[in-house]
């Protein structure tokens, strides 16, 4: 099997409004950041599959003979990226000696890599590969670092398996895929995200795949083609947190207090729709101070809602207080509970 070397990158993301509301079919708005994760895939002749992750100093390696024993019955159907195979996940966890649910980011990233590699190559010829990952994104900070990695991983292995072309020509520095190929990349990236987060919304991998600004509703992705360029100050509280734990916390609270939390989610939905309307206006007419006034008010209201949902944190409260003292408006991004906050900056 001829495997072509490739270098792929994907952006991180900031949630403007509505990530937790997506759980109940509400609108979320997300925007890509000018911070990226990079993945280089090379063919190897040593009979091994190896990967080096950003927070690990050395490559993790497996013999091809070991991996071939893990994929009995796998078809290698490259068009099927929608349903996670629980049996394969179970075999991989046993293979890696993983016994608990609270895994570190390196372990889940490795599981995701092996899952996509084995799923896409199936029981056919399995190539020897060397994968190296590096990133400008901090992990566990609400910036979609795992999704950016998952998108790079899916795109690289799909290219290596021949499921999608490698569009980059020798004389070009960058290239992209057609819509159909992007949808396939996104579907496999979503499977990797499920391994990392359990029950992700799909917003992060969609932004990593398409970039720009997206409207996300019930799994339907609508890229916003005309959006103003927003200046955002990004602040990392450096408080680690787990997206899986925080999403579960919101679900539990909704189940416990549905008459209280569902109206909050409806309000977040309205915030997202109002924000989208304002952003559209800002592309059709001269930008006014009133546009920024509305966006700032929406940020404040959304942040209060997120605290009601139980995903705030004292470090994020401090961020909001410090920036408010200087006339700026901030909110958390991602799952909350620490991680990063975003502050809207006027021109």
Q: Catalytic residue positions?
A: 146, 204
Label each residue of 296-333 as H, E or C: HHHHHHHHHHHHHHCCCCHHHHHHHHHHHCCCCEEEEC
Q: Give the residue among 271, 266, 335 at the shortest CA–CA distance from 298.
A: 271
Among the listed residues 5, 55, 13, 9, the one whose alpha carbon sits nearest the alpha carbon of residue 202:
13
Query: What span, in angstroms and rounded, lies between the C-alpha atoms of 142 and 11?
Result: 13
Contacts of 44 (CB under 8 A, 6+ apart): 50, 128, 129, 130
276 HSE (CA, 13 A, CB side): 22
Exposed, middle or buried: residue 73 (CB in 10 Å: 0-12, 13-18, 19+)?
exposed
Q: Are 345 and 231 contacting, i.e. CB atoms less than 8 angstroms apart?
A: yes
- Those residues with Cβ within 8 angstroms of residue 66's Cβ, 6 or more apart along the chain or in another chain: 95
Residues 332 and 303: beta-carbon distance below 8 Å: yes
- Please say whether the dihedral angle defined by the alpha carbons of residues 144, 149, 150 and 152, taken in this order, is positive or negative: positive
* Distance in angstroms (rounded) separating the CA atoms of residues 203 and 211: 11
CA 117 to chain centre: 19
Radius of gyration of the chain (CA): 21
CA 26 distance to own-chain centroid: 18
Cα 97 to chain centroid distance, Å, stands at 26
Name the β-bridge partners of 9: 38
What CA–CA distance (Å, rounded) separates 299 from 207? 20
Q: The tokens of 70 are what?
A: 């893990």
């Amino acid at each position: 099997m001829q495997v072509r070397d490739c270098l792929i990158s994907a952006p991180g993301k900031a949630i403007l409004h509505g990530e937790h509301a997506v759980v109940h079919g509400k609108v979320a708005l997300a925007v890509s950041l000018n911070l990226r994760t990079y993945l280089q895939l090379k063919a190897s002749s040593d009979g091994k599959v190896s990967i080096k992750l950003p927070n690990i100093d050395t490559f993790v390696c497996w013999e091809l003979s070991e991996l071939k024993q893990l994929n009995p019955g796998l078809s290698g159907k490259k068009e099927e990226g929608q349903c996670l195979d629980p049996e394969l996940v179970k075999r991989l966890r046993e293979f890696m000696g993983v016994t608990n649910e609270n895994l570190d980011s390196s372990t889940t990233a490795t599981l995701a890599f092996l899952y996509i590699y084995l799923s896409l190559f199936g029981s056919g010829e399995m190539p020897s590969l060397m994968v190296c990952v590096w990133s400008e994104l901090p992990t566990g900070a609400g910036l979609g670092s795992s999704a950016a990695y998952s998108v790079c991983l899916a795109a690289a292995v799909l290219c290596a398996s021949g499921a999608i072309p490698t569009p980059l020509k020798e004389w070009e520095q960058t290239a992209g895929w057609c819509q159909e190929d992007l949808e396939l990349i996104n579907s496999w990236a979503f499977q990797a995200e499920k391994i990392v987060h359990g029950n992700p919304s799909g917003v992060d991998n969609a932004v990593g795949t398409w970039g720009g600004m997206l409207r996300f509703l019930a799994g339907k992705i609508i890229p916003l083609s005309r959006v103003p360029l927003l200046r955002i100050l990004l602040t990392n509280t450096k408080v680690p947190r787990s997206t899986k734990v925080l999403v579960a916390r919101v679900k539990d609270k909704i189940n416990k207090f549905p008459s209280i939390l569902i109206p909050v989610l409806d309000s977040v939905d309205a915030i997202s729709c109002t924000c989208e309307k304002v952003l559209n206006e800002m592309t059709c007419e001269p930008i006014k101070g009133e546009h920024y006034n509305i966006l700032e008010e929406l940020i404040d209201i959304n942040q209060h809602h997120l605290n009601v949902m139980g995903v705030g944190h004292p470090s994020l409260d401090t961020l909001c207080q410090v920036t408010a003292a200087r006339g700026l408006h901030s909110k958390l991004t991602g799952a909350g509970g620490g991680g990063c906050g975003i502050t809207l900056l006027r021109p």
